[in-house]
Structure 1
Amino acid sequence: MKWRAFLLLGGAHFITDFYLNFVPALLPVMVRRLDISLALAGLVVAGSQITANFLQPIFGYIFDSRPSLRWLTLSLAVSGCFMCASGSVSSYFLFLLFPMIAGVGNGMFHPVGSTLTYHLDPDNRGTLMSLFASIGALGFALGPAVAAFFLARWDARTLFILLIPAVLIIFGLKRIELPSVSRKSVVTEGKRWPTISRVMGLLIAVMALRAWGHMAFGNYLVFYLEASGYTYQTAANILTWFLILGALGGVAGGKISDIRGRKPVIGWTILVGAICAGLFLLTSGIKAIVFLMACGLLVHASQPVMVVLAQELMPGSIGLATGISMGFVWGLGSLGLLLSGVVADMWGLPASFWLAVLVLLLGAGLSLLLPVEKERRESQHERI
């Protein structure tokens, strides 16, 4: 029953992130249909990402206060219906509004789905959370390709066919027993909150720096590789493998952290990943690609580990902790990405990538200040 529940939660994560990333496939179609500028098109992307990321802590806090499985099914319905309808609208206002509402559904899902995953198996939280995160990353990666396939062969109304997986998952979720999250478990940390808030502040900084560095490579890699002589298709394929290896690294990092502890995995993977990123910039050919793949594998490995650490630091506010670590920090990383873009415009892409390397090294350095596993477990025992 535990694995059936996890597979359904993972499937729900896959499909809600799958819907959110329809926007890149919709943009070329809607720019021509609505005759809008690229700047206005970019605002659609920003709007959906802002609602999806920055609202997560709010939904997490609400779920901690009023836990209900209805949030899960509502989030799938909202994200799916509004994103699939986005390609059929006839005004820019609705094209801006619908993806933003779909982003609200996506932001609603992550704290709920992650909290339920957290409670499935206390002994393998790192492993399950890394799998949960990787399944969502896969859905996010496949979203544009599948949406583009439907849009290229038929019209935008056929996107509603893609609601079928969400309907099946909602039906499945209603037929199995999910872990209960009692409102009584929502506690206040009291006198320990100043200490916990300092650690959480540090962890947020590490997560945001990691997200910034990883996003810089992910968003500008194709441009860099094209400038280095690769064709567009080859560069896109390399980016795909960079992201796939990141998802695999997340699974491995979560499993290792269950055995060796959270802090060592966080610090070492970001540090060695940053070194590999630097070596990628200093080399060329096959060597450079090998270092790039190692960077993708390692830098993303710590992401699900830090999500679990945030949840363990705030056991009475799992939803809020998840909203911060799976949404808010990505929003902060996106803001840092703006600076990377400015650096790229002024001094070139290599300078922007070296900035990303420095950002990752700073994140690795700050991770040294995180409490070690023994201290964290003792503090948890004291709270119990």
Structure 2
Amino acid sequence: MAVAKKMELKESKDENKPVYNILFIIGLCHLLNDSIQSIIPAMFPILEASMGLSFTQLGLIAFALNMVSSVMQPVVGLYTDKKPMPYALPIGLTSSLLGIIGLALSPSFTTILLSVIFIGLGSAIFHPEGSRVAYLAAGSKRGLAQSIYQVGGNTGSASAPLITAFILVPLGQFGAIWFTIIAAIAVAFLIYIAGWYSTRLAFMKESAAKNAKAAVKKGISKPVRNALLIIVFLVFARSWYGSAIGNFYTFYAMEKYGLSISQAQVYIFVFLVMGAVGTFGGGPLADKFGKKNVILYSLLLSAPLSLLLPFVNAFFSYIILSLIGLILMSSFSVTVVYAQELVPGKIGTMSGLTVGLAFGMGAIGSVALGFFIDVFGLSETMIAAAFLPILGILAALLPSDSLLEKWNAE
């Protein structure tokens, strides 16, 4: 009896220890995946100049990428919650590899859209399953684990300005072909991850089955539905503002400060790099101070800075953009963990919903903002977008972390 109890305690302790090698590898794969995605907005100035595309058409390209990803992510997550598919991860990156080849060789707006759909599909498969791997390897450090995973993606996204300055400006559209190497490396890493993931299937199925039965038994209560609705509004505010900066601030900086494409891309690089730092820091902060608090203050503290940004000079824009990226994105990974704990037993579904929703909202935002820029002007649209973080006040209505624990214990 004593030996059996010791073994149970050891297994329990092992389960609570983060598997850091897996977390760092899946974070690296997230970096490679999102580096591939970042090619698309990085190409906007190139495509606008070489093909004469309008801002609306550029918005539609972003819409095609993000909408495919956002629609498919919850579907993939829902399916793999029931039937986990470890080797879907390398298959998804293979789809992205095909999309890169098409993007580099596309002769028209239509073929660009088709290539982007392949990349979006690969991203839709990767994100919920990648988040599940991070969850399984997290142990008791879910906030930290999700931050390690998500910071990889944000770092990959931050590479867009560098891709534009050092690859696409000198090499043009065909320069995207070099990213087939990145895709191939990601596929190799994900084959290794899939092997580890397969060894955890038995534990995952047992745990998921218990949580799923509990979820079916309790159902989704009205307070949970209301909390999910608030999460939707918060993701909307963060994603639309992020879309305004990530997709169109380059043009704003070029127009307002008289900069070249490469010079203007530095602003986006600063915003995205500091966003990656904020994403990494948000998880440990949430583990210590609570997920709700991080979500609330990340948006509220960003609001005055976003309102100030359109009215400062070129130098102070660097400082304010870096602070906005640092603060605003600190809640990105935390939102995923909060949703997963809000509806336990639906790891992939909640990851697909929150991250996929961010892509979807960003997609709609890209089209809407592009249209508003064409109709009302660039400066006017960027000023209007600065009010979006104020919606973060809605986070005050979210259930507290202690209340979530109480619900999950019932």
Query: What TM-score comes out, normalization by structure 2 length?
Result: 0.81
Residue identity opposite 1:228 in structure 2: K
What runs of 5+ residues in structure 2 fail to find an aligned partner? 1-17
Contact kept, 8 Å, 2:100 with 2:180, in 1: the verdict is no
Match of 1:128 in 2: 145
Alignment partner, residue 240 of structure 2: 212
What residue identity is the alignment partner of 2:126? F
**Is 1:106 aligned to 2:134, yes or no?**
no
Q: 1:16-46: per-residue Cα shift (whole Å, max 9, x none)?
A: 222233335667888999x796576764443
Correspondence 1:77-156 to 2 at 5 A: 77-88=94-105, 94-142=111-159, 144-145=163-164, 148=168, 151=171
How far 1:85 moved relative to its partner? 4.2
Equivalent-residue separation in structure 2 for 1:77 and 1:342 (angstroms): 33
In structure 1, the partner of 2:220 is: 193
Give the direction of change, closer, same or farther, for the CA distance of 1:334–1:161 in structure 2 (3 Å limit): closer
CA positional deviation for 1:116: 1.6
Q: CA deviation at 1:376?
A: 1.3
> 1:357-376 counterparts in 2 under 5 A?
357-362=386-391, 364-376=392-404
Counterpart of 1:265?
A: 294
Give the whole-Å Cα distance in 2 for the aligned partners of 1:224 and 1:154: 26
The aligned amino acid for 1:298 is I
Q: Provide the aligned length of Structure 1 versus Structure 2.
A: 380
Number of the residue aligned with 2:4:
none
Match of 1:165 in 2: 185
Task: After TM superposition, list the pairs within 5 Å mapping 1:51-90 onto structure 2.
Answer: 51-88=68-105
Amino acid at match of 1:23: I
**For the structure 1 residues 260 and 230, does the alpha-carbon distance in structure 2 shift closer, same or farther, using more than 3 Å as the test?**
farther
Distance 1:244 1:299 in 2: 12
Mapping for residues 215-254 of structure 1, pairs under 5 Å:
215-232=243-260, 233-254=262-283
- Structure 2 match to 1:302: 331
Q: Distance in 2 between matches of 1:359 and 1:130?
A: 24
The letter for the 2-side match of 1:186 is A
Distance 2:307 2:110 in 1: 43
Q: 1:237 to 1:200 in 2, by over 3 A?
A: same
1:260, CA displacement in angstroms?
Answer: 0.3
Give the CA deviation at 1:294. 1.2
Instruction: Quote the Cα distance in structure 1 between the aligned partners of 2:296 and 2:172.
Output: 44
Task: Compare 295-304 and 171-180 and name the one that shifted more.
Answer: 171-180
Distance in 2 (CA, whole Å) between partners of 1:378 and 1:37 is 53
CA distance in 2, matches of 1:133, 1:315: 20
**Deviation of 1:284 (Å):** 3.3
2:28 equivalent to 1:8: no
Q: 1:274 to 1:152 in 2, by over 3 A?
A: same
C-alpha contact (below 8 Å) 1:8/1:169 kept by paired residues:
yes
Give the superposition deviation at 1:372.
1.1
Question: What RMSD in Å do the two structures reach over aligned CA positions?
Answer: 3.2
CA drift of 1:276 comes to 1.3
Distance in 2 of aligned mates of 1:328 and 1:135: 19
> What is the SS of the residue equivalent to 1:371?
coil
8 Å contact kept, 2:306–2:387: no
Give, in angstroms, the shift of residue 175 of structure 1: 5.0
Cα-to-partner distance string for 1:325-361 (whole Å, 9 max, x where unaligned)? 1012331243244444454445544432332232210
Deviation, structure 1 residue 288: 4.5
CA contact (8 A) 2:275 2:330 kept: yes
What is aligned with 1:331? 360
Output the amino acid matched with 1:194. S
d(CA) in 2 for partners of 1:347, 1:152: 30
8 Å contact from structure 1 (residues 16, 80) kept in 2: no
Of 63, 82, 104 in structure 2, the residue corresponding to residue 46 of structure 1 is 63
In structure 1, the gaps of 5 or more residues are none
SS of 1:315's equivalent in the other structure is coil
Matched letter for residue 170 of structure 1: L
Q: Deviations over 1:287-313 (max 9, x none)?
A: 443233211211111111111101111
Q: Which shifted more, 115-124 or 294-303?
A: 115-124
Is residue 69–residue 359 contact of structure 2 (8 Å, CA) maintained in 1?
A: no
Q: TM (normalized to structure 1)?
A: 0.86
- The one-letter code matched in structure 1 to 2:267 is I
Per-residue displacement from partner, 1:115-152 (whole Å, max 9, x unpaired)?
12112124221122122112112223336447638955
> CA offsets, 1:185-227, max 9 Å, x none?
4343444413322211111111111211222233332233333
Change in CA separation of 1:162 and 1:254 when aligned onto 2, cut-off 3 Å: closer
Kindly report which structure 2 residues correspond to 1:30-41, keeping only aligned pairs within 5 A, or say none.
none
The letter for the 1-side match of 2:305 is C
Amino acid at match of 2:236: A
CA–CA distance in 1 between the matches of 2:91 and 2:279? 28
